[in-house]
Structure 1
């Protein structure tokens, strides 16, 4: 993969038509500008991208709140690690089902209503989590939280990409993904400082209230996707498009282009023309990396306690891990402009594996926190590298399908990771053995990344989960 390949498609998208043209046809202008072309940020664009960022922060807070509260829940209900593993995986399983069953409604109803509906579902179910009185109820409610998050991940990525000027799109999408780690950090800090004066029930419900409070902001600031309006052409599509374009300082359209029936690429194409090896390699890499990543995300505070930290210090270890994940993700974005992504992924996976094994050794608190930071930096950075890798692996005609299936298969690993971790910890497996087991998928993912070939005569652009 050539250096700086990540910007290839972005440079091609910089070509725009005359911005001063009047009464233009959608086929000549709207398609390109609906992709976020332009050089300036309007207030509407800033509001749309900022809202997606805040939503992703809340997603990180809602999903990872469990890892910080696990010890309190286990103490109150006298449940073991195996049961907590099911609670962790329930939300991730919900994300997988939400992405497969609910997210496609955005292509029929619009991205905006799906996002608003999913935020309401997330907020109400998080509030209900605070009133759960047993593990079974909490598992069901966490699954519903995951449904809402899974439903909006793709739509938030699409809105962010579409409403970002082309020259800023890469960093905008990178910051969107970083919002997840920031939300997790903020949740950890809140638990660290406030849990001694409160209970885990308050934090669950409080996260739900914070999510619902964002609804009015999202309703005002979140525009509909111009691409959706142009290609699906619902009622009053032209008027809605022109209203948005006017706020962005773009010329208005006189007509909409006639669009034919849209058909998504079949998954069978991922196995034709010699693509089957590439597909199996990528699926295996995503599954393996997701498995270890979500094991770590779910169990870092608990693992820190097993490593010798007290509960307060363990919560801060989770915060430190997510800080490392945030910085690692941004560092990977910068490195992609200079180096081939494949060796980068391998190096980060190997560093992450070493850091995981090191986490099981007796260390001072300061060193333990530093190792937690290193795990987050390397594992999350390497994981983020898989997205431009898969984008480069498939030709444009099947790229979206290829990415979607990689994420879907990967999330099966994300469900398995916390379950397996909970079972191992519940069986009193030694911490060193647990970490050795989960370093294997990391190393495998890194090696598989080096085997991926770039699609011929194709460019790659960084793509979000």
Structure 2
């Protein structure tokens, strides 16, 4: 019997029923992730105006950075956690962490305790995203894999639309604390559904030698039964082995460029998500209109994510991400020019089309570029290293406001769109010899399993 390390991509271990279940549940999980992420920026003006809460603009920037530092820790740790307990239980754990922490935020007596709870919430939020993306990528049919990653990430922007709408409805009557009670819903409504319906990753079960559970899962969802671990040569290893693969030969350059691109992208995403309402207020817009603009930029994000996913199935996610970042930089810088309300609405929406999907396509690009056995590790580390940018972005915005330089905020954030676009251009140039993928991923595409 002769075998190779990976099944060809034409032989997927999935079917439409299993894929739909994974896609829907991961979408809902990321939807609540998006609400929790965007609710903070939407509530900053109310919290800083609360005389008993003692939060300044500098405090708000620091707390935003602490939350994204928690996301950094979660994204870095989730690869090891998922390799130990599986992707299904990792999604459950992350959802429970940010739900419980949201209750802690609602009960916080001051900015200090609030910051602690936001940091803990960030750990769960940071671990959920790469795990859900890896899960969807594994179960998605090849022809729509990039589109599926984009589709599931529309949930994040949907949450970004709902968060400011909740603020518009709840803040005037119930105050900012009521918004954080909404964040408890995943623990009550989502976690039981995941426990009941979400399948575990077949690849994880095979890698752990749990073939009985893998066969039972295959029978339940009508999947192709994965190969037994003993018949797979050099299938994915532990975290250390997979990390070493990311720095083998030319992969090291690609890995570092992805990290730098993700740094700039997440700095831009989290900096704008945290400070957009306040930046628009600094241009003369009232809070209501500023929250509407936050809705519009996320609505543009939904359109852009679907478009980027579809286009990347033809052009490739690396090239799409590169172009989207450069267009984002133009849009963000233009937002800093005071204009009429109608023009501003259109500009913010169009900028949202490119802003969020540019970063999402980095994740799709990592899934495209690296082979299956190292994909989860590559995604986790790319997201994790990018979180340094997510930490820096809110802090940078707070410092600009504290120094009275908030009118330069749009240019400062837009500059990082240019740097991320350049990083993706360099990745494209490095990988063009192998069809836009690492050599291992290209070889895996050509593998033919022969058993007998």
Q: TM-score range by the shorter chain?
A: 0.7 to 0.9
Query: Partner of 1:451: helix, strand, or coil?
Result: helix
Moved more, 301-310 or 344-353: 344-353
Q: How far is 1:276 from its partner?
A: 4.8
Indicate how the Cα distance of structure 1 residues 114 and 277 shifts in structure 2: closer, same or farther if over 3 A, else same: closer
Q: Does 1:444 align with 2:440?
A: no
- Are residues 168 and 383 of structure 1, via their aligned partners in 2, closer, same or farther at CA, if it must alter by over 3 Å? closer
Does residue 13 in structure 1 map to residue 9 in structure 2? yes
Distance 2:229 2:284 in 1: 64
Contact between 2:146 and 2:310, CA under 8 Å: does it hold in 1?
no
1:29-428 matched pairs, under 5 angstroms: 32-33=12-13, 36=14, 38=15, 41-42=16-17, 44-76=18-50, 77-234=53-210, 237-238=211-212, 240-250=213-223, 257=230, 262-264=237-239, 265=241, 267=243, 270-271=246-247, 273-339=249-315, 344-390=320-366, 401-428=377-404
TM-score scaled by structure 2?
0.85
Retained in 1: the 8 A contact 2:137–2:145? Answer: yes
Question: In the superposition, relative to structure 1, how do residues 84 and 107 fare at CA in structure 2: closer, same or farther (>3 Å)?
Answer: same
Which segments of 5 or more consecutive residues in structure 2 lack a partner in the other structure?
A: 1-6, 442-452
State whether residues 128 and 205 of structure 1, in contact with CA within 8 Å, keep that contact through their aligned partners in structure 2.
no
Distance 1:205 1:233, change over 3 A: same
Cα distance in 1 for partners of 2:287, 2:356 equals: 24
C-alpha distance after superposition, 1:83-135 (max 9, x if no partner): 11112122211111012224422211222222222222221111121111111
Please name the residue that 2:448 is paired with: none
- Equivalent residue number for residue 457 of structure 1: 434
Contact between 1:393 and 1:455, CA under 8 Å: does it hold in 2? Answer: no
1:48 offset after TM fit, Å? 2.8
Are the equivalent residues in 2 in contact too, given 1:56–1:176 (CA < 8 A)?
A: yes
RMSD, aligned CA: 3.0
Structure 1 residue 284, shift from structure 2 partner: 2.6
What is the CA–CA distance in structure 2 between the aligned matches of 1:57 and 1:251, rounded to whole Å?
30
TM-score, with normalisation over the residues of structure 1? 0.82
Q: Evaluate the alpha carbon distance shift between residue 225 and residue 157 of structure 1 in structure 2; reply closer, same or farther with a 3 A threshold.
A: same
Distance 1:252 1:271 in 2: 32
CA displacement at 1:250 relative to structure 2:
4.4
Does the 8 A contact of 1:112 with 1:224 survive in 2? yes
Instruction: String of CA shifts for 1:6-37, please: whole Å, max 9, x gaps.
Output: xxxxx9522x4xxxxxxxxxxxxxxx52xx2x
C-alpha contact 2:262 2:420 (8 A) present in aligned 1: yes
Using the alignment, how far apart are the partners of 1:221 and 1:399 within structure 2? Answer: 24
The answer to whether the 8 Å contact 1:45/1:248 transfers is no
Residues 127, 209 of structure 1: 8 Å contact kept? no
Judge conservation of contact 2:153–2:360 (CA < 8 Å) in 1: no
Matched residues in 1 for 2:370 and 2:204: separation? Answer: 24
